[in-house]
Amino acid sequence: MASTNPDTEALEAVAALTRLPETGLGGRRKRRPERHDEILSAAVEQFHAKGYHGTSVEDIADAVGVSAPAVYRHFHNKQEILDTAALWMGDQLAEQLFAIDESLLARERLEQIVDDLVRTSQTYSTFVGVLTRELHSLSLEARKLSMERRHAYVDGCVATLLEVLPNLSKQEAELRIHLMINLVCSITTYHDGNRKRIATTVKASAMAALLVD
């Protein structure tokens, strides 16, 4: 049986999920065609392999098996592809946070936040890695929107942590949440194949960072 590339699986999952209605830079909800998703997934793979600035629209087109003009029918330029990827990831984190059952105990909700972030970072490791590395390459508008979504996500996490540790200052809670996010996102650098072991280790380390005395 042929081996399966985890990064390829992640990119295929991204393509499947990005068929859901998305929020564009103008705030409009729209449904994307399949080719749009294929281009987005191929672009992320190319950005990961060559870097954003080292990748051309022709590289992306070749990876999809289409002409460069076909790419331009879905995206105005390479910049819009990267911006779309960043905003999509922000949407995923927000949806995960809002989907957590509020009837759970605060500690259980905090654990769910960590579990969700670990799963997302591991499933979309190439995706997360590209966005972490290429944040400075986003357009000003996309960077602003991306940071707004990140801040909203952090605020939601902080509120939950303060329910668990009410005597913690907000500043300390924010520090711990940022440390947790950075720790979890580092999962994208590990590719030894034992995904379950890595996830277990990262989850335990993240919770320890949040709840340290």
Percent of the chain with pLDDT over 90: 62
Domains of the chain from N-terminus onward? 6-211 (1.10.357.10)
Given this model, what pLDDT does residue 24 score? Answer: 45
Given this model, what pLDDT does residue 92 score? Answer: 85
Give the model confidence (pLDDT) of 165-194 as tens digits.
Answer: 999 999 999 999 999 999 998 887 776 668
Give 193 or 10, the one with higher predicted confidence: 193
pLDDT surpasses 60 at 25: no
Given this model, what pLDDT does residue 192 score? Answer: 64
Given this model, what pLDDT does residue 125 score? Answer: 85
Given this model, what pLDDT does residue 32 score? Answer: 52
- In this structure, the chain runs to a length of 213
Longest dimension (CA), the chain: 59
pLDDT surpasses 80 at 101: yes
Rounded CA separation 63/159 (Å)? 43
pLDDT surpasses 80 at 23: no
Residue 38 C-alpha from the chain's centroid: 17
Mean pLDDT of the chain: 85
Give 209 or 6, the one with higher predicted confidence: 209
Give the model confidence (pLDDT) of 136-175 as tens digits.
Answer: 999 999 999 999 999 999 999 999 999 999 999 999 999 9
Residues 21-37 have a mean pLDDT of 56
Contacts of residue 43, defined as CB under 8 A and 6 or more positions apart, other chains included, come to 55, 60, 63, 78, 81, 82, 85
Given this model, what pLDDT does residue 171 score? Answer: 98
